[in-house]
Chains A and B, each alone.
Chain A
Amino acid sequence: MASQRVLPQSKETLLQNYNKRLKDDIRSILDNFTEIIKTAKIEDETQVSRATQGEQDHYEMHVRAANIVRAGESLMKLVSDLKQFLILNDFPSVNDAITLQNQQLRSLQEECDKKLTSLRDEIAIDLYELEEEYYSSSYSLWDGTDLPLCEAYRRRDSWASPASGSALAQDDREDLDGPPSQETNSQHHLNGHGAMEKP
């Protein structure tokens, strides 16, 4: 991989700025710490009185300690900026994260659909029996145009074998005529018989 890349000016400037901040902050921490240690050394000969020198050293140590803390906080800010830059511009890891997330979501979707499909197959069997039970009872209120599932299967079977079903076909035609309550069912049978008896 080439170490020299032509980056847009803003990105290159930003990264150079990060480098500069890092060097400045580390230098600030080390220099100020070293100076505090040097200032802590007690000297016998001073240009001003010991009290004044002590006061001056005290103030200098305060300022240098504050500088160390400021440099530490600046380093924390730099780390935060680097994290942000990494999240936005580290394309290899962003691509990996997107691929992984897509894989997880797709596998969840496939599992969900697979379970729904198997549920559908199981429910279809039970629903067939339920409909047969319901539509053959006195509670059903269907009209001939809206076929229940069991009736649809029965008709499909009768279409599949036409030779066996002239009476059956007649019953089916009669069923289309009216609502299939128990009383009307008996009427259908009567009509069917009546139709058969007519010349």
Chain B
Amino acid sequence: MANERLRALEDVEKEIATTLQCAGNVLLELSKDKHNASFLDRQLAQFQSSVNRVENELNGQIRYLTQVATGQPHEGSTYSARKDCQMALNRAEYAKVKLGELERTCEIMLDQSM
């Protein structure tokens, strides 16, 4: 859920860039001697729809934040689970080291007996 909202905000950023791009294309086309009317119409429509989308999306985000924000800091954490997992991985690593030592010991004994 958090990723969806953040992804939506990233799309809004791209939309803002599209808005400025369309505005620049319209002005560039107007600066020419002969204008392509259909291109102008397309770019203008895209500019207006981009601006509307940006405004609606950001309004929606601010409305959602007005509803869920409490003003208190969040005190949850994943520290305990992370620590337990880290200790389990340490146990596995230790077992691996000890097995390596056992293997080396067995190899030495085999070499000596041969």
A interface residue numbers (CB < 8 A to B): 1, 3, 5, 7-8, 10-11, 15, 18-19, 22, 26, 29-30, 33, 36-37, 40, 65, 68-69, 72, 75-76, 78-79, 82-83, 85-98, 101-102, 105-106, 108-109, 112-113, 115-116, 119, 123, 130, 134, 139
Known: A98-B77, A105-B78, A106-B84. A86 touches B92 (CB 8 A): no
Q: In chain B, what residue has the closest Cβ to A101?
A: B78
Task: Tell which of B47, B70, B91 touches A112, judged by Cβ atoms closer than 8 Å.
Answer: B91
Q: Is the CB of B77 within 8 A of A86?
A: no
Since A29-B23, A112-B88 are in contact, a sample of 16 more A-B pairs with Cβ atoms closer than 8 Å, ordered by chain A residue number, is A3-B67, A15-B65, A19-B59, A29-B19, A40-B27, A78-B58, A79-B13, A79-B16, A83-B9, A85-B65, A88-B74, A91-B68, A93-B1, A93-B5, A96-B2, A105-B84
Question: Closest CB of chain B to A88's CB: distance in Å?
Answer: 7
Measured in the bound complex, the distance between the Cα atoms of B47 and A108 in whole Å is 49
| Main DSSP-derived SS at the B contact region | helix
Measured in the bound complex, the distance between the Cα atoms of B17 and A108 in whole Å is 42
Q: Is the CB of B95 within 8 A of A116?
A: yes
CB-CB contacts below 8 Å: B67-91 with A: 67-71, 73-74, 76-78, 81-82, 84-85, 87-89, 91
Measured in the bound complex, the distance between the Cα atoms of B78 and A42 in whole Å is 65
B interface residue numbers (CB < 8 A to A): 1-2, 5-6, 9, 12-13, 16-17, 19-20, 23, 26-27, 30, 47, 51, 54-55, 58-59, 61-62, 64-71, 73-74, 76-78, 81-82, 84-85, 87-89, 91-92, 95, 99, 106, 109
Q: Is the CB of B27 within 8 A of A65?
A: yes
Measured in the bound complex, the distance between the Cα atoms of B55 and A26 in whole Å is 7
Question: Closest CB of chain B to A85's CB: distance in Å?
Answer: 6
Question: Closest CB of chain B to A46's CB: distance in Å?
Answer: 19
Q: Is the CB of A96 within 8 A of B1?
A: yes
Q: In chain B, what residue has the closest Cβ to A75?
A: B16
Q: Is the CB of A8 within 8 A of B71?
A: yes
